[in-house]
């Protein structure tokens, strides 16, 4: 069964800091512990999304964009806990509204499998990146960051044009 991490319901509030100006480490929110993905939980997550928590695709993507910018800001400051926190936020936090999932299904049809796979690739890279940051392994951080970025771009190249809202 697929895991659909974008559909995850999480309790964290929306992350709204401006992308271009990551905060200094001292002002950041409390540490999010690095954890491994729980496939059993992820696979059924979209059934549990509370409508009020769920977001449309552009809103989820904006959060990913901000988290990536904050992650870079942490990396430039050798703030590896900050890198781990943002990577974990990318892995865990955003979720799409069930109605949006239905729309994606309707547009993509058979290609939904590939969309899920692209989704999982990004999730898995983010988890590995969080782990690398947790162990202060800079070469591994750089490697998994490159994988993560490649995963974002791969999904965009494959699906963004088709799924963009009119
Ligand atoms: C599973 C597919 C998928 C993955 C993985 C993915 N995206 Fe997206 N992204 C999309 C689609 C589809 C759109 C177009 C959404 C729309 O315009 O409604 C999009 C749009 C965006 C946008 C533009 C939003 C806007 O306001 O027009 C940004 C920024 C973005 N993604 C960032 C990211 C980042 C950063 C990552 C990786 C951490 C990522 N995305 C991973 C599918 C994906």
pTM check: above 0.85: no
Strand partners, 55: 96
**Among 39-43, 64-68, 130-134, 154-158, which stretch is predicted with the lowest mean pLDDT?**
39-43
pLDDT digits (tens, 9 = 90+) for 77-124: 999 999 999 999 999 866 788 999 999 999 999 999 999 999 999 999
* Residue of 4, 15, 56, 61 to mutate, ligand 1, most atoms within 8 A of C-beta: 61
Is residue 1, in this structure, part of any structural domain at all? Answer: no
Domain count, the chain: 1
Is residue 94, in this structure, part of any structural domain at all? Answer: yes
Q: What is the pLDDT of residue 82?
A: 98
pLDDT digits (tens, 9 = 90+) for 79-89: 999 999 999 99
- CA–centroid distance, 26 to ligand 1, in Å, is 29
The answer on pLDDT for 33 being more than 60 is no
Is residue 141, in this structure, part of any structural domain at all? Answer: yes
* 24 within ligand 1 shell (Cβ under 6 A): no
The answer on pLDDT for 7 being more than 80 is no
Is residue 130, in this structure, part of any structural domain at all? Answer: yes
3-state SS of the chain?
CCCCCCECCCCCCCCCCCCCCCCCHHHCCCCCCCCCCCHHHHHCHHHHCCCCCCECHHHHHHHHHHHHHHHHHHHHCCCHHHHHHHHHHHHHCCEECHHHHHHHHHHHHHHHHHHHHHHHHHHHHHHHHHHHHHCCCHHHHHHHHHHHHHHHHHHHHHHHHHHCCC
Is residue 101, in this structure, part of any structural domain at all? Answer: yes
Q: What is the pLDDT of residue 53?
A: 67
Is residue 65, in this structure, part of any structural domain at all? Answer: yes
Is residue 22, in this structure, part of any structural domain at all? Answer: no
Q: Which atom of ligand 1 is nearest to the CA of 158?
A: 2
Average pLDDT in the chain = 78
- CA–centroid distance, 39 to ligand 1, in Å, is 22
CATH of the domain at 124: 1.20.120.10
* 64 within ligand 1 shell (Cβ under 6 A): yes
Give the Cα separation of 133 and 143 in Å (integer).
11
The residue range of the domain holding 102 is 52-163
- CA–centroid distance, 137 to ligand 1, in Å, is 28
Is residue 125, in this structure, part of any structural domain at all? Answer: yes
The answer on pLDDT for 55 being more than 50 is yes
């Amino acid at each position: 069964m697929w895991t659909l991490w974008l559909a995850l319901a999480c309790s964290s509030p929306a992350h709204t800091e401006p992308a271009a100006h990551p905060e200094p480490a001292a002002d950041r929110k409390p540490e999010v512990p690095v954890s491994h993905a729980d496939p059993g939980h992820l696979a059924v997550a979209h059934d549990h999304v509370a409508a009020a928590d769920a977001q449309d695709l552009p809103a989820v993507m904006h959060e990913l964009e901000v988290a990536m910018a904050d992650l870079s800001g942490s990396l430039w400051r050798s703030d590896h806990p900050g890198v781990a926190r943002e990577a974990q936020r990318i892995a865990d936090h955003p979720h799409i509204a069930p109605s949006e999932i239905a729309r994606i299904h309707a547009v993509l049809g058979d290609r939904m499998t590939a969309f899920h796979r692209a989704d999982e690739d990004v999730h898995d890279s983010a988890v590995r990146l969080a782990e690398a940051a947790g162990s202060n392994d800079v070469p591994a951080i750089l490697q998994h960051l490159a994988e993560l970025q490649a995963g974002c771009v791969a999904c965009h190249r494959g699906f963004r044009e088709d799924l963009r809202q009119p």
